[in-house]
Chains A and B, each alone.
Chain A
Amino acid sequence: MIYFYDGSMPAFLTAFLLAYADEEATVTSRSLQLTLGAETVFVQADGARAKRAEKRLLGMDRDCLHDLSTLLRSGDDDRDMVAFRYLKFLTQQGRPVRDMLAEDCVLAAVECMRRVGYEVHRFHGFLRFLECSSGALYAPFSPDNDICDLLVPHFRARLPQFPFVIHDVGRKKAAVYDGEHTFVAPLERAEIALSADEEGWQSLWRNYYASVNIPSRERLKQMRGYMPVRYWKFLPEKYRSEPL
């Protein structure tokens, strides 16, 4: 049976309960996986059941919901099943399993969470803000994982006086800090007017980027390993013309 859900945590937990005993279960939030002929259920979140499941899981491992939330943010195609198998194994063991790395399902989950965490860390460095004429900062990016809101605390601590918008242009959503509160909102396209100096600072930054390089030691493979090409689209030192 294929258990289709909307990607949210309560719906996942509801699906988890329904699919738990089904040896052939496929849990997914991707419409692509709807195979013709396969039996499918669309699982709606059941708040009360999800709450009960949460409570039981927390009794076995008080960090497991944090793990689950991280796994559901992953951009990996198989994230739902990775999360499903991990939680199922946890339930069978009745205690934290994250160190049992010799188990495939645990290793898969741990690696998946590590990739999400690593991308958050990377974007602490790779995110680029554009200064708008209002003084607010706007950072478009297209991460592999659903992490825009996870970046907010870091930048809020650094730049408390600046309202900012971190825009996941792929998922069409944004994490917003208005100078006081933070929230997540759907955002298709942002219309922004850049500040008068923005272009000047970008140009100085490109200039800096070019002058700190040591050309006789070119190691492009290494550069791309650390800073994958798919991220370049939003880095002023890597694009030449106007952004987006």
Chain B
Amino acid sequence: MCYTVGMISESKLRILTESAKYDVSCSSSGSKRKNEGGMGNGYAAGCCHSFTPDGRCISLLKILLSNDCVFNCKYCMSRADSDVPRVSASPEEICELVIDFYKRNYIEGLFLSSAVHISPDHTMEQLLLTVKKLRNEYHFHGYIHLKGIPHACDRLVREAAMYVDRMSYNIELPSEKSLKLLAPQKSRESLLIPMQKLHSDVEIFRAEKRKGHFLPAGQTTQMIVGASPETDGQIIRLTQSLYRRLGLKRVYYSSYVPVVHDALLPDVPAGELREHRLYQADWLLRFYGFDAEELVESDGNLSPDLDPKCAWALRNMQFFPVEVNSAPLEMLLRVPGIGARSADKIIRARRYTRLTFEMLAAMRVVLKRARHFITAGGKFYGSENAAAVRGLLSSGGRTPAQMSMFADSRGMALALPSDLETARSALRGEL
């Protein structure tokens, strides 16, 4: 069949998206970009357009400009050594695809990434060319997330930041040692320094209230979990410093999936339970006022049996029970089983009446876990024995899928920024 010039071929699309899909981030939140006489705008809360059978949200068209790589990261199927078909898309092919998908409301925007094709600078130039074309010639004002290329020149990176909503350099592995071993051409500096520069450029841009845009949705990063020996504690501390020092919007974890065999890499995929616990801990850092040190167990990891909030509460029973009619919001949020939405309901409702357990139940505050940690009107319905509570609350190593609580999934997206990956991590067991 013959279609419009510029329509990408099915096989090229397949290759370029197959290799992009292990980038976990799909969020389209954080940008309020206006439609300035063309097509598209930002949707600050983010928006999911579809869900794939693996339960993940499709928000952005996630695609590589090229999978033809000169680098040799051991875990990657596009690495130079690997014997796979190589293709590159033209900037026009990407632009047409974005415009036609966006027009039909398939996507919220573009997540454009690339293998290091020819050289870092060449690749960054092509990426820049594509996003400029999309903004200036196709007048597209929807969301664009652009991957930063390590070792590319600053000038190109900074220019790209003026056209896109979000950028990400993937930190790839949680320690410098693992990075050296598994991604020999990427150094810690080649990833962290551009992140630092972009962070300070964003700050300057905001402080000087300059015209135009400069990464309105900030930066994110991603690391592979389970391909290298770091503890949960190392990962959580690194995450915290990325939030605090580099002002990142999100840190994503991707459980290692073996796509290539290498003596340096494990042959088994990392457990999804671990990834799930890390996301729960990450959520507690960002929205619940926890510090990394509070979350990590004495063995340097997160508890596999308990969600990190429960585990923290059981180590700190001296703070409990708290009275729901008077506890401050920060404390309510620390009660296992009470999430942001329940805490909000409690705060609103208690202004009018003294809440009882019956009322909490009627308000659909889930009490299964919370009752061990709260009093309502001075009454306590939990167990005082911490060991017994631990036994009751322990999930006994169930998988995250079994813990999902879809009953509550409907409201979540409205109550909180509907960044679906984050909402999902909260939903699997309301924290």
Contacts and interface: CB of A to CB of B under 8 A. Distances in A.
Contact of B39 (A158, A200, A202, A218): A158
Contacts of B21: 211-214
Contacts of A161: 39
Contact of B61 (A125, A201, A208): A208
A187 interface: no
Interface residues of A, number: 57
B10 A235 contact: no
Contacts of B14: 207, 211
Contacts of A226: 48, 51, 55, 57, 409, 420
B422 to A, nearest CB: 13
A215 interface: yes
SS class of chain A's interface: helix, strand, loop or mixed?
helix
B266 to A, nearest CB: 15
A115 B414 CA distance: 10
Contact of A128 (B105, B348, B424): B105
A17 interface: no
B62 A212 contact: yes
Interface string B103-118: 1111010000000000
Contacts of B348: 99, 101
Contacts of A102: 349, 352-353, 355, 359, 362-363
Contacts of A66: none
B62 to A, nearest CB: 6
A158 B359 contact: no
Contacts of B43: 124
B53 A204 contact: no
A42 interface: no
Nearest to A124: B47
Interface stretch (B1-9, B159-167, B228-236, B326-334): B1-9
Interface string B73-116: 00000000000000000000000010011011110100000000
Contacts of B269: 216
A209 B413 contact: no
A99 B62 contact: no
Given A114-B414, A157-B41, A214-B257, A201 B104 contact: yes
Given A159-B39, A160-B35, A220 B103 contact: no
A146 interface: no
Interface stretch (A31-39, A46-54, A56-64, A129-137): A129-137
B106 A222 contact: no
B: interface residue count bin: 35 or more
A102 to B, nearest CB: 4
B41 A158 contact: yes
A215 B52 CA distance: 9
Interface in A92-136: 99-102, 104, 107, 114-115, 117-118, 121, 124-131
A100 B52 contact: no
B50 A197 contact: no
* Candidate in B7, B352, B353 with the most chain A CB atoms within 10 angstroms: B352
A150 B53 CA distance: 29
A221 interface: yes
A200 B1 contact: yes
Interface in A125-178: 125-131, 137, 139, 155, 157-162
B351 interface: yes
A237 interface: yes
A40 interface: no
B17 A212 contact: yes
Given A126-B49, A204-B7, A209 B58 contact: yes
Contacts of B53: 213, 215, 218-220, 223
A69 to B, nearest CB: 18
B35 A208 contact: no
B342 to A, nearest CB: 11
A100 B55 CA distance: 36
A192 interface: no
7 contacts: A100-B349, A118-B410, A159-B103, A201-B100, A204-B8, A213-B53, A222-B51
Given A216-B257, A222-B401, 14 more contacts: A102-B349, A102-B362, A125-B50, A125-B59, A137-B103, A158-B41, A203-B10, A207-B14, A208-B61, A211-B13, A212-B62, A218-B54, A220-B53, A220-B55
Interface of A: 99-102, 104, 107, 114-115, 117-118, 121, 124-131, 137, 139, 155, 157-162, 196-197, 200-205, 207-209, 211-223, 225-227, 235, 237
Among all A-B residue pairs, the 7 with the closest Cβ atoms: A222-B55, A219-B55, A99-B348, A225-B406, A101-B349, A213-B52, A102-B359
